Amino acid sequence: MSTANRGINMGPPRFKIAVHSIVWLAKSGCILSSAMIACQVQSHATFMRRVMQALAVAGIVESKGGREGGYLLRKSADQITLGEIYNAVRPTPSESEIDIDCGEAGMKLDAEIEKILNEAEQRAIEHLGQFTIADVMERVEKFIE
C-alpha cells in the first residue's frame, strides 16, 4: 500500500483548508466571499464560513458584510505564520474531548498522554510559526498561477 498520496493528518482538520483559503485571499488581493473561497479550496460554503470566522476572531482576516462583502486579509502574507493559523482553527477542549470512565489508573494514564500530546502540539506550533503564508506561496508558486 502506497503512502505517497495519503498525506499527513496532523492537527485540526480545518488547518489545511484555512491555509488554502488564506493563500487564495493573498493571491487575489481583494475581498472574496465564503462561496468563492469554498469553490477555490473545494469545500462547502457553510464549513468555510466557520473556518473564516475562527480566522477573523484571531485577527488574521477581516469580514465585510453586505452584498459585496466577504473576507480579506488583515495582514500581508509575509506577516501571517502557519502557527497563527493553527492556533486560530484548533478545536477547543469541548469540541475534541469525549469523556470515558477508565477508572483512576485510566485517568492518570489519560492525564500523562494529554501532557505528552500538548507538548508535541506546542512544538509543532513553534515549528509552524517559522513559516509564513508568503513562504508557502513561494514554495508552490508554479501551481497557483
Task: Give me the mean pLDDT over the 29-56 stretch.
Answer: 91
pLDDT greater than 70 at residue 120: yes
pLDDT greater than 90 at residue 3: no
pLDDT greater than 90 at residue 130: yes
pTM to 2 decimal places: 0.78
Task: Give me the mean pLDDT over the 21-41 stretch.
Answer: 91
Between strands 70-73 and 61-64, the pairing is antiparallel
d(CA 80, CA 112): 33
Q: What domains sit in the chain, N to C, each tagged with a CATH number? A: 14-143 (1.10.10.10)
Which triple of cell numbers denotes residue 3? 503512502
Task: Give me the mean pLDDT over the 26-45 stretch.
Answer: 90
| Residues 75-105 pLDDT 10s | 999 999 999 999 999 876 655 455 556 677 7
What is the dihedral angle through the alpha carbons of 84, 14, 26, 35, rounded to the nearest 10 degrees? Answer: -140
State which amino acid sits at residue 145: E
Across the chain, what does the average pLDDT equal?
84
Q: Read off φ and ψ for residue 76, nearest 5 degrees.
A: -75, 160
